[in-house]
Amino acid sequence: MSKVRALLGLFVFASGIIVGVVAAQLVAPPPPPSPWRSLPLVDEPAVAAAVAGMLVAEDARALAKALDADLLQRLGTAIEPLVDIDGIDFTGATERQGDILSAYVAHGRTQSGSTVIVGVVFRVRDGKVVGVN
């Protein structure tokens, strides 16, 4: 009898677990469907990966060689308010008519020491970084 009760208890507990998992998923609703088509994702462009690497390495000299003054200024605006970059993760890239948008999230610290993340996107055309957002 006690074995049956233990098994029943286990079954009731497992049922609770299943309902709890479903409830946790329902709390975070899925994004609404997009009315527009989605472009296919492409591989990370090597030139954008190289610039992202320079950012993490804090290699100002290499950045100055890789990007012109206008792009450097845009990059400076894009990473605000970060002053120390601890890492940068590639999140995805897509291509349209020769333009590749390569997206990254940089994480690091602000002047006041608080940890933040910011999004940075490189526009790559003909194997060169031609834009930064």
Partner 1 sequence: MGVLRGLAPWAVVFVLGLLTSFVVTALGTGLAEERAVFGVKESAQARQYIISLLQQEPQSLIALTPKTDVVSRAMQFRQSEAAAGQIQAQSLTYLGGRTAGSLAVHIYAIEIRAGSGQRQFFPLALTLLQGKVVRRE
Q: Residue 61 and residue 45: Cα distance in Å, rounded?
A: 21
Q: Residue 41 and residue 18: Cα distance in Å, rounded?
A: 35
Token pair in block for residue 120: 């940075």
Site string for partner 1, 68-107 (x = CB under 8 A): ----------x----------x-xxxx-xx-x-x-x-x-x
* Nearest residue to 77 (alpha-carbon basis) of 40, 117, 22, 132: 132
**Minimum distance of partner 1 from residue 25's CB (angstroms):** 7
Instruction: List residues binding partner 1 (CB under 8 A).
Output: 8-9, 12-21, 23-25, 27-32, 34-39, 41, 78, 89, 91-94, 96-97, 99, 101, 103, 105, 107, 115-121, 123, 133
